[in-house]
Amino acid sequence: MTEQSNIKFTIALGNPNLDAEEQERETRNLVREIKDLDVESAELVAVTETPKGSKALGGFLLGVLQAEVSMANFKKVLGFVGDRLGNKTVELEVEANGKKLKIKASSQQELAAALEAAQKFVAVG
């Protein structure tokens, strides 16, 4: 069996009730918490190309972070995302085995279904 590569997450938080500074603070806190899960990397996304409709603050995309995790920690990170972000609007992009899956959720049920789809996506790869 070939060794599987790490799984890359991009998480975009959407909270219209927060101003830019609050959104940045929430995203930085989330990055710190994800780093505590023993991931390969977790960081804010630097502005290189600003996607249409996104905002940037201080050289970083507002509310967007990336993390890279090993296959062994994948389920732990999915569980954390489900627990921590269940009632927020979230766009999640999972990249594994050279393929990408983009999912958007705005409720606990949608996020649970999205995380299940991400798990199946990685398992199939």
Determine the Cα–Cα distance for residues 118 and 125; give it in Å rounded to an integer. Answer: 11
In a domain, 83, yes or no: yes
In a domain, 93, yes or no: yes
Determine the Cα–Cα distance for residues 29 and 115; give it in Å rounded to an integer. Answer: 21
pLDDT grade for 70, boundaries at 50, 70 and 90: very high
Determine the Cα–Cα distance for residues 80 and 69; give it in Å rounded to an integer. Answer: 13
| Residue range of the domain that includes 44 | 7-124
In a domain, 84, yes or no: yes
In a domain, 20, yes or no: yes
* Domain count within the chain: 1
| CATH value at residue 62 | 3.30.70
In a domain, 2, yes or no: no
In a domain, 52, yes or no: yes
Q: Which of 3-12, 20-29, 43-52 has the lowest mean pLDDT?
A: 43-52
Mean pLDDT of 75-85: 88
Letter for the amino acid at 101? L
In a domain, 1, yes or no: no
pLDDT grade for 124, boundaries at 50, 70 and 90: confident
Is-contact 57 40, C-beta < 8 A? no
Determine the Cα–Cα distance for residues 35 and 28; give it in Å rounded to an integer. Answer: 11
In a domain, 91, yes or no: yes
Mean pLDDT of 81-97: 88
Specify the pTM: 0.81
- Closest-CA residue to 30 (of 69, 67, 55): 67
Task: Encode 46-59: b = buried (16+ Cβ within 10 Å), e = exposed.
Answer: ebeeeeeeeeeeee
Residue 108 has pLDDT above 80, yes or no: yes
Give the CB-side neighbour count of residue 124, counting CA atoms within 13 A: 11
Residue 7 has pLDDT above 90, yes or no: yes
H or E stretch at 104: strand 99-105
